[in-house]
Amino acid sequence: MHTAKDETRDPLDAAEEWLGEGRSVALATVIETWGSAPRPVGSQLVIDAEGNFLGSVSGGCVEGAVVTEALDVIDSGQPRMLEFGVADETAWRVGLSCGGRIRVFVERLN
């Protein structure tokens, strides 16, 4: 179940709060963009082990896929590099059809 909480909250503040509550948390960061990517480099999304997320890496295009990957990262503790773009069939399916490509780094907060 993926539910977006209050979008006006700052993801890093939320991450600290969630960790304080004893939740497992992953952080996803846009580290590179090409073309007309919807969110700038440095944009962040935080995800907990229940699939709750807050923030944005693409304005809604690929968040679902990032959350799924983040759950694996929370499990394994191994950071992961994701790439989405129009050339990528998965990305097309999840909706980054705006002509841009992005790379997203997903890591667990320890």
Partner 1 sequence: MDASILKAINAERRGRRAVIVLTDLADGSSQLIREGEPIASEFRDAVEAAFRTGKSGTIDVNDQSWFLNAHLPPPRIVVIGAVHISQALAPMAKIAGFDVEIVDPRTAFASEERFPNVALYPEWPEDYLKRRPLDTFAAVAAVTHDPKVDDLPLQAALETGCFYVGALGSRKTHAKRVERLREAGLNDAQISRIHAPIGLDIAAASPAEIAVAILGDIIKALRTRGLAPVQMELAE
Any contact of residue 31 with partner 1 (CB under 8 A)? yes
Beta bridge partners of 82: 104
For position 81 contacting partner 1 by CB under 8 A, the verdict is yes
Segments of the chain assigned E as strands: 25-34, 44-48, 53-55, 80-85, 101-108
Give the residue from 60, 85, 56, 81 showing the smallest Cα distance to 69. Answer: 81
Residue 62 engages partner 1 in binding (rule: CB under 8 A): no
Q: Which is nearer to partner 1, 19 or 86 (CB)?
A: 19
- In eight-state DSSP terms, residue 88 is S
CB 83 within 8 A of CB 101: yes
Does residue 27 interact with partner 1 by CB under 8 A?
yes
With binding defined as CB under 8 A, does residue 15 bind partner 1?
yes
Determine which residue in the list 2, 7, 16, 50 makes contact with partner 1, applying CB under 8 A.
16
* Residue 4 DSSP one-character state: B
The pair phi, psi for residue 13, each rounded to 5°, is: -65, -45
**Chain residues 39-58 in contact with partner 1, contact rule CB under 8 A:** 40-42
Site size toward partner 1 (CB under 8 A) is: 19
Binding site for partner 1 (CB under 8 A): 12-13, 15-16, 19, 27, 29, 31-32, 40-42, 79, 81, 105, 107-110
